[in-house]
Amino acid sequence: MKILKSGTLSDTTLRRLRITPSYFFLVWRWSMWLYALIVILFFKPHYQESATTLPYGELTTLLLAITFIQALIVTFYAPVLRIPFLKLVNRDGLRARLRFGRPSVEDDEPDIVPPLAHTRNTYWDITIYSMDVLICGLVMYYSAPIAVPAFGSGSPFYRYGLSTVFAASLAYRYRGGLAAAIGYDLFAVLGMLLPAPGATVYPPTVIDIVGSLVDAPTAALLTAFMATLIENYAQSKRREQNNTRIQKALVRVGETLMKNSHNRQELLRRSAKQIQQGGHFQRLSIALVGHDEEDAPATQSEISTFVEATPYDGEQPDRHRELFDEVIRSGKNLLLFEPLDDDEHAGCARCYLPLPKDGPVQLILGAESLRATPFDQNKEEFLTIAGTQLLIALENIRLTEQMVKLAASAERGRIAREIHDGIAQLIYMLSLNAETCQAQAQRIAEASEEDAELLTPLATRLGKLVTISKQALWETRNYMFSLKPLMSGTTTLTQMLTNQVREFETISDLPVQLVIEGVEVFPTDDSRRARSYAQAGAALFRIVQEALTNAYKHAEASQIQVLLRFQDESIEVEVHDNGRGLQDNDENVAQGTPTRIYSGHGMNGMRERATELGGTWNVQAGPDGGLTVQACIPLNAKRRA
């Protein structure tokens, strides 16, 4: 006997152990048919021919033909021979239609292969075994007059008929075997009470009666006992092998989770492959529910990420997605077994397992295989363990990303405070001193004509210094706003733009009119919409910031208007100035190409901020001169990769 290093029986040895009883049944049936043939050919029968009965030769020929055809049909349709044959014949066709990989045969084989044809219809199976008992019993009844005694064990086909008891015992154990034995013995009792045509007058003896009625129940009990022992032993070894295989598979899955703990997409792809191999599935799919590309899971029930270890290339994807949607709606496990149209011994077994986190479903594992039986509880437990590990790994990735973002945000805030308390204050003091010196130089020049010629150039240079220092202060403020986290806490977009406009007016001395249309409503009850709103608000704040900077530095505007419009599904902003406009290179500026008046880099930045969130951006000349920058960002669009 072949033994694995782990101490368990090999798959080949277990398979042979499970099919041995069925081969014993087939060998017994054919051997006993040959025994009946020899008895009929070489031993003188005690048969009385009469006008109402068939001649001896015709009767024996008919019985031999019936039993030969019966044994031939049973052999041809025996699962132990037919299933491997059908798998060999139909494998390519089933692969071509279902696009499956290697069929899973070691998981769906029965512990004891039944000797007769086995279907998924219990009533049809009982009919098959009952017909076998009926045929064997009738053959024994009509062939008994050939020998003495003219019933039961006197028939040359008596031992042949015992094979039907073996068949029922191997398939249904004690209950099936005893039922078949009783049914078979009824024909022996019928031969005693109502002898078959042509039977000799023979008074039954106790030995003949016991020999005819005890053999079948004894054979049923012994066969059922041996089949039960083999089944228990095979199940025990198979469970041990399955546990060992599942443990190894889970270890490989764990190693995959550890190696790809920083890349979500790569983690899902490799995990799907490992779970597929570990569970002997022919297709394994993973669906993330309610995720966007970079943030925490949302409450909205929709598939955001879908990964398949064996992608579909046939007609099945729609059906596949429908089942996933059904699991999302119900939140419950879905186990299906869909028989194949062209093979009654195989079907498509499906298992869809949802894994919730804090209530809603976050992850779904979908497994499919071409099998003879549905998935058992072991498959479901394996998917549960592997899926839970994967869910924990995904949560760790999310927490790590959040930690990195929080650390980066804290560092940006620290740098912004350092700039505010250091460089910004120094530049502000420089601007005040330069402005004071300019005013003093102008007063002295106006008071003394002698010094005016000398002080006027100085006042002009000081004015330029004031302008440069204010521009430097505005640039520094822009850097501070870029570093600070936007729309944090209870800060709204209206408050942010209001503070930005006031600070811009203070630094630039340019009047800015802020017009707000609509009512700003922050979506606090929907986390996904809240994140979309925060992203849109941050992008619009940066666009207004860049537009004000361009108007101040390049457009030579004297008046600016900012229009903020809140709509149900989008937020729109317009920044209009009365400056120099696009002038002679309108087309280049509109396309975001570098230009001297409006920074090309700034234009590209505004365009990218809007389009990245699925919005629109446009720049055009105003009706009264100047320039108008327009941006509109929807609140429910997905972030563009």
User: Could you report the per-residue pLDDT of 397-409, keeping only the tens digit for each?
Assistant: 788 878 887 887 7
Distances (CA, A) of 564 to 118, 315, 427: 74, 49, 31
Q: What is the pLDDT of residue 53?
A: 56
- The residue ranges of every structural domain in the chain are 11-78+115-241, 260-401, 422-484, 490-641
User: Could you report the per-residue pLDDT of 425-453, keeping only the tens digit for each?
Assistant: 777 788 778 878 878 878 877 777 766 77
Q: What percent of the chain has pLDDT over 70?
A: 79
Three-state secondary structure of 505-565? HHHHCCCEEEEEECCCCCCCCCHHHHHHHHHHHHHHHHHHHHHHHHHHHCCCCCCEEEEEE
DSSP 8-state code for residue 3: B
CA distance 298 to 289: 8
Q: Are 376 and 357 in contact (CB under 8 A)?
A: no
Residue 252 token pair: 């490989």
Average pLDDT estimate for 619-629? 81
SS3 of 200, please? Answer: coil
Residue by residue, DSSP assigns 559-598 as: -EEEEEEE-SSEEEEEEEE-S--SGGGHHHHHTT---SSS
Average pLDDT estimate for 160-186? 94
- Give the amino acid at 592: G
Burial of 230 per CB tally in 10 Å (0-12, 13-18, 19+)? middle
Q: What is the pLDDT of residue 497?
A: 86
H/E stretch holding 41 reads helix 11-42
CA distance 230 to 223: 11
Residue 443 token pair: 């007063």
DSSP 8-state code for residue 625: B
Residue 548 token pair: 């004000």
For the entire predicted model, the pTM comes to 0.56
Bridging pattern class, strands 560-566 and 512-517: parallel
User: Could you report the per-residue pLDDT of 529-577, keeping only the tens digit for each?
Assistant: 777 788 888 888 888 888 887 887 777 788 888 999 988 888 999 998 8
Q: What is the pLDDT of residue 485?
A: 53
Query: Which residues neighbour 491 within 8 Å (Cβ) at sequence distance 6 or greater?
Result: none
User: What class, spelled out in words, does domain 490-641 have in CATH?
Assistant: alpha beta
Residue indicated by tokens 């990195």: 404
Q: Are 323 and 339 in contact (CB under 8 A)?
A: no
Q: What is the pLDDT of residue 594?
A: 38
CA atoms within 13 A on the CB side of 504: 28
- Is residue 312 predicted with pLDDT exceeding 70? no
Q: What is the pLDDT of residue 641?
A: 44
Strands (DSSP E) found in 357-402: 361-371
Residue indicated by tokens 């700003």: 520
User: Could you report the per-residue pLDDT of 465-488, keeping only the tens digit for each?
Assistant: 877 887 777 777 767 766 665 555
Residue 622 token pair: 């105003």
Q: Are 72 and 44 in contact (CB under 8 A)?
A: no
CA distance 120 to 346: 10
Q: Edge-to-edge strand order for the sheet containing 361-371?
A: 303-308, 283-289, 361-371, 343-356, 334-340
Q: Which is nearest to 632 in space by CA: 590, 573, 576, 577?
A: 573
Fold of 260-401: Beta-Lactamase (3.30.450)
Q: What is the pLDDT of residue 299?
A: 45
CA distance 229 to 276: 33
Q: What percent of the chain has pLDDT over 90?
A: 16
- Give the amino acid at 475: E
CA distance 364 to 350: 13
Is the torsion defined by CA of 91, 93, 97, 101 positive or negative? positive
Query: Is the backbone peptide bond immediately before 45 cis, with ω within 30 degrees of 0?
Result: no
User: Could you report the per-residue pLDDT of 604-622, keeping only the tens digit for each?
Assistant: 888 888 888 888 999 888 7
Average pLDDT estimate for 171-193? 93
Q: How far is CA 526 from the centre of its chain?
A: 26
DSSP 8-state code for residue 148: S
Residue 536 token pair: 């849109």
- Give the amino acid at 583: Q
Residue 187 token pair: 């024909």
User: Could you report the per-residue pLDDT of 75-87, keeping only the tens digit for each?
Assistant: 988 888 765 554 4
Q: Are 200 and 48 in contact (CB under 8 A)?
A: yes
Residue indicated by tokens 């900077």: 549
Q: Which is nearest to 230 in space by CA: 80, 487, 421, 20?
A: 20
Residues in the chain: 641
SS3 of 466, please? Answer: helix
Q: Are 350 and 283 in contact (CB under 8 A)?
A: no
Computed over every residue of the chain, the mean pLDDT equals 77
Q: Which residues share a beta bridge with 354?
A: 364
Residue 238 token pair: 């198979």
Residue 510 token pair: 């340019």
Q: List the single range of 294-298, 374-378, 523-527 with lowest mean pLDDT.
A: 294-298
Residue by residue, DSSP assigns 91-146 as: HHHHHHHH---S---SSS--SS--SS---S-HHHHHHHHHHHHHHHHHHHHHHGGG
- Is residue 134 predicted with pLDDT exceeding 60? yes
Residue indicated by tokens 């229009």: 563
Strands (DSSP E) found in 313-426: 334-340, 343-356, 361-371
